[in-house]
């Protein structure tokens, strides 16, 4: 009988130990969780919840217009290269207006452009831009398969844009590599001559060489015959 009592005691001891271990583990977990909560600081918002942040639009700074001097070459889109021959002022009513006088040599025309409306003017190209134009003239023409009237309108817009690369593209696309006039229609030839002469005049102003030298360089890039005369 004594032996049985001992066994029961040992069983009871074992039963008591098990819940103690579980309680210790649960206490440790609770303590660790509390520590983690304490370690993470709460972020305080810099702005009160009721206040709204106002985003102010920044105004663009007004860009200064370029000033040209007498004897400067400029490009007026609808007429081509011109030279500033004077900077004058005049009174219209009570308003004093300053303006440039620009002489277009090819057309024997003098333009008056107010300084506050000189957005159409641009300085002549650089030598690097001229070299790029020559590479455009050497490239293959890109002719769209559309009606001539639509293409003629597009070419005319490019010529009057005043952009030198677009001028070079028109000359390249309308170039026929021949001196036979019959190969071009009248309107096609007119557009080609207009673009060619404008491009040539800018080449002359930048390169500062004789017109004959410029024409040789352009015709070589286009692969045109030497006997071709645009004034025919």
Locate 47 and state its tokens.
Answer: 């702005």
Output the pLDDT for position 40. 52
pLDDT digits (tens, 9 = 90+) for 207-224: 999 999 999 999 999 988
Rounded Cα distance, 29 and 18, in Å: 17
Write the DSSP assignment of 48-96 as a string of letters: -TT-----PPPPPPPPPPPP--TT-EEEETTTEEEEEEEEEEEEETTEE
Instruction: Name the band, by pLDDT with cuts 50, 70 and 90, for residue 148.
Output: confident
* pLDDT higher than threshold 70 for residue 72: yes
Average pLDDT, whole number, for the chain?
76
Output the pLDDT for position 220. 93
Rounded Cα distance, 89 and 78, in Å: 24
Find, among 66, 56, 110, 58, the residue nearest to 88 by Cα: 110
Output the pLDDT for position 74. 94
Instruction: Name the band, by pLDDT with cuts 50, 70 and 90, for residue 43.
Output: low
Find, among 106, 107, 89, 108, the residue nearest to 98 by Cα: 89
Rounded Cα distance, 82 and 62, in Å: 27
The residue with greater pLDDT, 86 or 180, is 86
Output the pLDDT for position 213. 93
List, in order of start, the domains of the chain with CATH numbers: 73-123 (2.40.10.170), 127-222 (1.20.58.1290)
pLDDT digits (tens, 9 = 90+) for 177-201: 644 444 678 899 999 999 999 999 9
Output the pLDDT for position 100. 92
* pLDDT higher than threshold 50 for residue 134: yes
Rounded Cα distance, 96 and 118, in Å: 16
């Amino acid at each position: 009988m004594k032996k049985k009592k001992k066994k029961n005691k040992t069983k009871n001891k074992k039963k008591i130990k098990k819940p103690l271990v579980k309680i210790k583990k649960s206490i440790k977990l609770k303590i660790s969780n509390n520590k983690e909560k304490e370690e993470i600081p709460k972020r305080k918002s810099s702005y009160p919840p009721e206040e709204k942040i106002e985003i102010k639009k920044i105004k663009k700074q007004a860009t200064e217009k370029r000033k040209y001097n007498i004897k400067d070459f400029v490009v007026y889109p609808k007429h081509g290269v011109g030279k500033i021959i004077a900077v004058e002022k005049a009174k219209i009513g009570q308003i004093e207006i300053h303006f440039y006088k620009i002489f277009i040599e090819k057309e024997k025309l003098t333009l008056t452009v107010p300084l506050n409306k000189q957005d159409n003017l641009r300085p002549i190209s650089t030598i690097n831009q001229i070299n790029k134009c020559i590479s455009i003239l050497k490239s293959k023409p890109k002719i769209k398969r559309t009606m001539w009237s639509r293409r003629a309108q597009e070419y005319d817009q490019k010529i009057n844009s005043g952009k030198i690369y677009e001028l070079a593209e028109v000359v390249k696309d309308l170039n026929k590599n021949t001196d036979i006039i019959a190969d071009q229609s009248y309107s096609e030839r007119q557009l080609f001559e207009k673009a060619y002469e404008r491009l040539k005049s800018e080449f002359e102003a930048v390169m500062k060489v004789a017109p004959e030298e410029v024409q040789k360089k352009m015709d070589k890039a286009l692969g045109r015959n030497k006997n071709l005369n645009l004034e025919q």
